[in-house]
Amino acid sequence: MTQLEKQLIEWRRDFHQYPELGFLEMRTATIVADILEGLGYELEIGKAVMDPDYCMGKPSEEETKQHLEWARANGAVEKYLGLVSEGYTGIVATLDTGKSGPTVAYRVDMDALPIVEATGDDHVPVKEDFRSTNDNMHACGHDVHTTIGLGLATKLMENKDQLKGKMKLIFQPAEEGTRGARSMVEAGVVSDVDYFVASHIGTGVPHDHFVAANNGFLATSKMDVTFKGRSSHAGGNPEEGKNAMLAAANAVINLNAIPRHSGGATRINVGELHAGSGRNIIADHAALKIETRGETSDINDYVKSQAEAVIEGAAKMYGVTPHIELVGEGESADCSLEVAEVLKDIAEQEGLSSDLRSDASAGSEDATFFINAVQKHGGQGTYCIFGTELAAGHHNEKFDINEDSMPHAVNILFESAKALGEK
Amino acid sequence: MTQLEKQLIEWRRDFHQYPELGFLEMRTATIVADILEGLGYELEIGKAVMDPDYCMGKPSEEETKQHLEWARANGAVEKYLGLVSEGYTGIVATLDTGKSGPTVAYRVDMDALPIVEATGDDHVPVKEDFRSTNDNMHACGHDVHTTIGLGLATKLMENKDQLKGKMKLIFQPAEEGTRGARSMVEAGVVSDVDYFVASHIGTGVPHDHFVAANNGFLATSKMDVTFKGRSSHAGGNPEEGKNAMLAAANAVINLNAIPRHSGGATRINVGELHAGSGRNIIADHAALKIETRGETSDINDYVKSQAEAVIEGAAKMYGVTPHIELVGEGESADCSLEVAEVLKDIAEQEGLSSDLRSDASAGSEDATFFINAVQKHGGQGTYCIFGTELAAGHHNEKFDINEDSMPHAVNILFESAKALGEK
Amino acid sequence: MTQLEKQLIEWRRDFHQYPELGFLEMRTATIVADILEGLGYELEIGKAVMDPDYCMGKPSEEETKQHLEWARANGAVEKYLGLVSEGYTGIVATLDTGKSGPTVAYRVDMDALPIVEATGDDHVPVKEDFRSTNDNMHACGHDVHTTIGLGLATKLMENKDQLKGKMKLIFQPAEEGTRGARSMVEAGVVSDVDYFVASHIGTGVPHDHFVAANNGFLATSKMDVTFKGRSSHAGGNPEEGKNAMLAAANAVINLNAIPRHSGGATRINVGELHAGSGRNIIADHAALKIETRGETSDINDYVKSQAEAVIEGAAKMYGVTPHIELVGEGESADCSLEVAEVLKDIAEQEGLSSDLRSDASAGSEDATFFINAVQKHGGQGTYCIFGTELAAGHHNEKFDINEDSMPHAVNILFESAKALGEK
Amino acid sequence: MTQLEKQLIEWRRDFHQYPELGFLEMRTATIVADILEGLGYELEIGKAVMDPDYCMGKPSEEETKQHLEWARANGAVEKYLGLVSEGYTGIVATLDTGKSGPTVAYRVDMDALPIVEATGDDHVPVKEDFRSTNDNMHACGHDVHTTIGLGLATKLMENKDQLKGKMKLIFQPAEEGTRGARSMVEAGVVSDVDYFVASHIGTGVPHDHFVAANNGFLATSKMDVTFKGRSSHAGGNPEEGKNAMLAAANAVINLNAIPRHSGGATRINVGELHAGSGRNIIADHAALKIETRGETSDINDYVKSQAEAVIEGAAKMYGVTPHIELVGEGESADCSLEVAEVLKDIAEQEGLSSDLRSDASAGSEDATFFINAVQKHGGQGTYCIFGTELAAGHHNEKFDINEDSMPHAVNILFESAKALGEK
């Protein structure tokens, strides 16, 4: 095992033990920043690379402050903590080769999930003593992604003279819930990028296999909706209430009744509903968690706008006030096959089998905002997947990967930087 | 049997044979006008005593024209037909005694119901050969009311010198569906009235019994509602439709869910719903017939305004356009006991048993508009009921009354005119 | 101030400081038992006077155990604690005079509300240092009722030789939510009772005024409803879910749409609804808190059975499993005027003004189960109200009474025992 | 133009002038039978080839009798009329070559649509004087299909000695609404068939182009649903009604809310809803026209069974009785490519361009029942399309075809009979 391979495992297991939720990746981000600065990268951190107006579903100030204390107590690098203390935890690290050439960007994500990790001895992180130290878990592999990003950073800097153009490494917060990417796009992070590569580990792709262009992400919108009414005694003065629960119940049913779309698949779900405060009181508030999806961004926009009409109409029926907060959003995207072919060739040279593209339906991702932004100004972008063995599916408490897949991932991305720099 | 008693029967049986629906009482009204003018009354007919803006649920121009032809062919008095040809069939007949005194008004109604009369030999109108000649029926006794009005007119004029003040006889169209009274009130018909008496025959009050003040009318609003959407092929392009049926279905359910009122009884009903035009087409239209009621006018107003909100909200949910047409309305009323006592005393002198007042729930009536308008400017009004034997309930195809009750009714009203003129 | 008057205040303020929720009145009941036994009463406690099958909305075993520890630590009388440790806290104390005569029963209730008492200095319990020591509060005056019961017990025993027949004092748990009375009725507590008197303090009746027969209680049913479905990923496999939230939403709307009843007022409310566990998961459970009311028991039964049909139908629509738990119930009742007249006369001799009866709508009460049971076997029962000054309305955090009303109450009930014993 | 080509036009224009709706093709079928018998075919007609239990959406006895009179008056062949007089209008004509070989079947459909044909001079049937003589119209080309079937019959018999095995010509009623095919399948009409070919003209395929295997038919179920409740006066006794309109409204909304299916497209529509009979009457009946679709038969079955649950649950909520009548059904199908290749080769020899298969979404068809039944017992089947110029789209009042496409169609089918007989 090379020194870098050992280092990758060490990094990954460290991040795995200290998982942080979206917009709270303070320990992770400050350690990442410290390593990158040590390697010689030029860094931009926090609001410099994130537009606060487009951060969706950000935790409250209170939660953010509490987490800051946790991060400080658990190994965050104090030097950078001021820059991320309000929860703007994105980082862009740049390496300018000084030689003319394109700008090539790589995105990795850093956040974890609110899942309690498994405790059985058959779970490798337990057996090898790197289980999560809190109630969150890297159950989607973003610890691995951050590690791959640092491995790539190391190799790029070590082999700087083989490169041309400019390299940008984007460490994104809050991919879970598709909440963080857009704020980095709106801050202009990829406005100068010619080639863009996002990547993910696992997702069902077999070990030693590679997918160069993963299309099929469903566009999605996540919304938190509240209805504010007026309470009254249900026995004494029912006519004085403004029943938020009735508005919410109508919204739930009619959201599900939004017409299908002939252009492709749609999804709508109200996953949570809480209303009312006592058996004999007309409910004066109701809160819903909603999610729409569409096979394309246009189709999702259709569902979303229908949903807004349903919510407003339901509120109007009962004289209550609706409030819709967008707490996450992802687009569909169509990967650039030219970049994908470069990646596929490299993967095959690396000894992996590979697919140029996959169009199978594939959940949602906000890397699509980067890809679409880059393509819009004439650049190219793709989303690739490194196969690995999974101990259990993503978002499962027993999720785990085969760490052997990490060096392959670092090599493929490094070689792509070399190759794309020549373009 | 006196001459007048014979005449009453003759009139009643004539009207019974030629029943006309609300705002179409052209034959009836022109015959009434002819008789009243013959007696020497000063007449105002049609738009002079009806504000067109407040005629609710008026038949279409087409239907009105068709009925004009029917009336012409069935005995309408041509001389007055021009005044009522557009369906404004109200009449106010005035007798000014020349002597100082109050203005006393009596209201009778003239319209019939769209009910096909019974054909069996046990039904007196069949047996005695005055069954309806068309598909409508005087199944609520308004033929009797019109007759009583003419009887009263006759006695008043014959005994003019026993009277003081001014007498107004109001022949109202379209009481069924509570559609006609308000237009006469808005035209100012009772703005000079000091004492007002409306009356009804039957309603479950026993023969030879009299109720002087019938409260308990539920306020009501009748509405025809349509939703206009956009059709599309349900298989091919479901997303292009604007589904009027879904809006209507939501309206139906949520109208029924309007909160109860702590102040008294409410009612809401959607009695008819028709939507759509083909199995595989998104419905672009829906039509509902709605009725609200409340123990008081305020409570009915509450239900009505909630209903409007529900309709608008349901429309908004599905992007369709709602239209609400008010096609009938009645208020609650609280009869003036001073007038009622006058009537009660007379009834008892006439040999009838009597109640001063009844507060039992009693359907809806638009005479309440007259009573409330008179009371508002300081006058007094009541709604009295002449008991009679009924062959079957009101609005039943076998409805019939005991004609013996008619002379009593005429006498009571005539005596009240004398007594109230003294006030 | 007499010794008994001082004692009443002492008892009341002690109970006020240690309020206990329904079926958890362990400290209260054991102190009551100890005092009654000291006075010489024959006692029946717990399951002897409560049928477990008819205890509605009883706290869980866990909560009951926890409260037992609290009671033990806060002054419960250990000797009786074993009898009430499972939450069956009812007591029946009997005084048999040995002389022939009727059985006369008095009911008082003992439970408090989950309301945090006011802390301001203007609140008498704060100023005079007897504010609640926990997060519950006697905000409905049941501390006063228990005290009156003990005062009555004292006077009856002290004047035993003036009495005839048998006296039963019923200390009932869990009147709040109308949960406790029925279990005592089903246990046969009033099956031998000839005259029954329940009483309440306050409720808007002025100080020094008395209402002898308070009718107008709405019959009511309280239900906790759950729907159990099946979760699935809303994006990945929507067709595999059984959506409990959709069933619940339909139930909420259609419960509100239960038709009005021509026989009298109805009420229906869903006060709380909680469903689902994550934005992108089909909700597999939903929980509702429901309350029906009717002007009579029959009308409430109508609403309740309609509600059951709605719940079952809504479940069927989505293939989920409904569960309805009755957690409280009260009937309507028609007080016996013969007993009420006895009470009214006594109150007037006591110097109070009084009403024989009040039929105004008056919330719900489960003493009605006792009244109806007594009347059913030929006895008589009434529900009387002792007026007092209220610092704030019932169930308000500033609720307080004028303690001067307590001696009046004790005297009236004592004198009624004497008088009814003579019947 | 050959004699047969002239005959084709003559037949087509005759059928076009006398369009008959599904299960009423009495004139058409008796003329077809007469021609086929004249050619020497062995015929089975009516119930011999149709299982009455599987006729869906069949007109009432009354309508059927009325149409019989129309047919008799408009050229039906009396000799066969007895066999089809109850609306069982299917025909199977068999030609047994006597030589060993497979059984090859061809299906054509005969019914028209309730569309009033255009009257403008630019519409060829008007200009050339063969416009429909009644209010129906062959607006989907089934007049052409019947004609092609007769043309094929003619050529087969004329060239009998070039054929092997057995030839079956299936003339199917009621394809519109996917109502007729299943009854012929259930009667065993294709239980001995080795090769099956259904065909259609037009559907957007260009003139002189041919599609040999048209997949992509959506499975579908058409249902007529009624709810039967109990009426009552909405003001007087609302609690006595069983509101069928409320059940229907709930059904409409929740049918639309049936969850999407991850396996493919679904559709659901309620196209018509009629409920209630008067504004102030609780509606005692409601009728709905429903249609489900699914990308596969399994997916449609999923939607259908969810729909049944919704309907039953909605009925249960309001205590009304639901009735579901299946009035049409179609399956998805996967054409046999081996047969399709035979057809494609022949079409290209005939000078047409062609596609082997099309998987585009393609409405619904009940020929799929034949294909699936044949494949189930090991045979092969396909659905092919003869391109033509359309004056306007199918089901449009100006629909018309280019008659030049008919001889091609006859030739292709005839040649396929020769080729398939060799297999």
Please list every residue in chain B whose beta carbon sits closer than 8 Å to the beta carbon of residue C253.
253-254, 257
Look up the CATH number of the domain holding residue D303: 3.30.70.360
DSSP code at position B194: S
3-state secondary structure chain A: CCHHHHHHHHHHHHHHHCCCCCCCCHHHHHHHHHHHHHHCCEEEEHHHCCCHHHCCCCCCHHHHHHHHHHHHHCCCCHHHHHHHCCCCCCEEEEEECCCCCCEEEEEEECCCECCCCCCCCCCHHHHCCCCCCCCCECCCCHHHHHHHHHHHHHHHHHCHHHCCCEEEEEEECCCCCCCCHHHHHHCCCCCCCCEEEEEEECCCCCCCEEEEEECCCCEEEEEEEEEECECCECCCCHHHCECHHHHHHHHHHHHHCCCCCCCCCEEEEEEEEEECCCCCECCCEEEEEEEEEECCHHHHHHHHHHHHHHHHHHHHHHCCEEEEEEEEEECCCCCCHHHHHHHHHHHHHCCCEEEEEECCCCCCCCHHHHHHHHHHCCCEEEEEEECCCCCCCCCCCCCCCCCCHHHHHHHHHHHHHHHHHCC
Q: At residue D325, what is the residue type? A: E
A269: nearest CB among C250, C256, C280: C280
Of B298, B330, B362, the residue at which a domain comes to its end is: B330
Q: Does C176 count as an annotated binding residue?
A: yes
Check CB contact of D280 with chain B, cutoff 8 Å.
yes
B230 and B191 belong to one structural domain:
no
Contacting residues for A38 by C-beta, under 8 A, at least 6 apart: none
B317 and B191 belong to one structural domain:
no
Please list every residue in chain B whose beta carbon sits closer than 8 Å to the beta carbon of residue C265.
260, 265
Look up the CATH number of the domain holding residue A416: 3.40.630.10
Q: Which residue of C has its CA nearest to A327?
A: C279
Check CB contact of C256 with chain A, cutoff 8 Å.
yes
Q: At residue A88, what is the residue type? A: Y
CB-CB under 8 Å, B313 with A313: yes
Check CB contact of A269 with chain D, cutoff 8 Å.
no
Binding region of D for Mn(2+):
140, 142, 176, 200, 395
CB-CB under 8 Å, D250 with C239: no
Please list every residue in chain D whose beta carbon sits closer than 8 Å to the beta carbon of residue A266.
260
CB-CB under 8 Å, C246 with D250: no
CB-CB under 8 Å, B302 with A317: no
| D71 token code pair | 């047919």
Please list every residue in chain C whose beta carbon sits closer than 8 Å to the beta carbon of residue B270.
none
Distance CA C401, CA C1 (A): 18
Of B297, B330, B363, the residue at which a domain comes to its end is: B330
Q: Which residue of D has its CA nearest to B234?
A: D269
Average pLDDT over residues B25-38: 98
Sheet with strand A353-358: strands edge to edge: A42-45, A91-96, A166-172, A103-109, A195-201, A380-386, A209-214, A353-358
CB-CB under 8 Å, A256 with C246: yes
Distance CA D273, CA D244 (A): 11
Interval C198-216: pLDDT, tens: 999 999 999 999 999 999 8
Give the minimum alpha-carbon distance from B309 to chain A in angstroms, rounded to a whole number. Answer: 5
Please list every residue in chain B whose beta carbon sits closer than 8 Å to the beta carbon of residue A236.
262
Note whether D179 and D328 are within 8 A (CB): yes
D212 and D224 belong to one structural domain:
no
Q: Which of residues 360-399 of B touch C (CB under 8 A)?
A: 361
Give the minimum alpha-carbon distance from D288 to chain B in angstroms, rounded to a whole number. Answer: 9
C136 and C226 belong to one structural domain:
no
Nearest to A374 by CA among A333, A418, A342: A333
Please list every residue in chain B whose beta carbon sits closer than 8 Å to the beta carbon of residue D364.
235
A170 and A197 belong to one structural domain:
yes
Q: In a structure prediction context, what are the per-residue pLDDT tens digits for chain D, which is 423 residues long?
A: 899 999 999 999 999 999 999 999 999 999 999 999 999 999 999 999 999 999 999 999 999 999 999 999 999 999 999 999 999 999 999 999 999 999 999 999 999 999 999 999 999 999 999 999 999 999 999 999 999 999 999 999 999 999 999 999 999 999 999 999 999 999 999 999 999 999 999 999 999 999 999 998 999 999 999 999 999 989 889 999 999 999 999 999 999 999 999 999 999 999 999 999 999 999 999 999 999 999 999 999 999 999 999 999 999 999 999 999 999 999 999 999 999 999 999 999 999 999 999 988 778 999 999 999 999 999 999 999 999 999 999 999 999 999 999 999 999 999 999 999 988
DSSP states along C189-223: TTTT-SEEEEEEE-TTPPTTEEEEEE--PPEEEEE
B380 and B323 belong to one structural domain:
no
CB-CB under 8 Å, D319 with C309: yes
B262: nearest CB among A236, A259, A317: A236
Per-residue buried b or exposed e for A169-196, using 16+ beta carbons within 10 Å of the residue's own CB: bbbbbbbbbbbbbbbbbbbebbeebbbb
Query: Among the residues of D18-118, which ranges form H helices?
Result: 26-39, 61-73, 78-84
Note whether B282 and B231 are within 8 A (CB): yes
B112 and B16 belong to one structural domain:
yes
C273: nearest CB among A245, A268, A289: A245
CB-CB under 8 Å, B256 with C259: yes
Q: Work out how many domains chain C is built from and give that number.
A: 2
pTM (2 d.p.):
0.92
Average pLDDT over residues B183-192: 98
3-state secondary structure B64-108: HHHHHHHHHHCCCCHHHHHHHCCCCCCEEEEEECCCCCCEEEEEE
Average pLDDT over residues C17-25: 98
Please list every residue in chain C whose beta carbon sits closer than 8 Å to the beta carbon of residue D254.
246, 250, 317-318
Q: Which domain holds residue D367?
A: 3-217+331-421
Of C300, C327, C354, the residue at which a domain comes to its end is: C327
Interval D270-311: pLDDT, tens: 999 999 999 999 999 999 999 999 999 999 999 999 999 999
Q: Does A176 count as an annotated binding residue?
A: yes
A86 and A170 belong to one structural domain:
yes
Interval C202-252: pLDDT, tens: 999 999 999 999 998 999 999 999 999 999 989 889 999 999 999 999 999
Interval D352-404: pLDDT, tens: 999 999 988 778 999 999 999 999 999 999 999 999 999 999 999 999 999 99
D150 and D280 belong to one structural domain:
no
**Residue A242 — φ and ψ, nearest 5°?**
-120, 105
CB-CB under 8 Å, B262 with A238: yes
Distance CA D344, CA D357 (A): 9
Q: Can you tell me the ipTM of this complex? A: 0.90
C136 and C173 belong to one structural domain:
yes
Check CB contact of D243 with chain C, cutoff 8 Å.
yes
Q: At residue A130, what is the residue type? A: F
CB-CB under 8 Å, C282 with A269: yes
B vs C, Cβ pairs < 8 A, gives 22
Check CB contact of B253 with chain C, cutoff 8 Å.
yes
Task: Name subunits touching B (3+ CB pairs < 8 A).
Answer: A, C, D
A143 and A19 belong to one structural domain:
yes
Distance CA D194, CA D212 (A): 17
Report mean pLDDT in 10-residue bins for chain A, 423 residues.
95 98 98 98 98 96 97 97 97 97 98 94 96 96 98 97 97 96 98 97 93 94 97 91 98 97 95 95 96 96 98 98 97 96 96 93 90 97 96 92 96 97 88
Check CB contact of D268 with chain C, cutoff 8 Å.
no
Check CB contact of B317 with chain C, cutoff 8 Å.
no
Check CB contact of C278 with chain A, cutoff 8 Å.
yes
D296 and D361 belong to one structural domain:
no
| A83 token code pair | 């820059």
CB-CB under 8 Å, A279 with C291: yes
Please list every residue in chain D whose beta carbon sits closer than 8 Å to the beta carbon of residue C315.
313
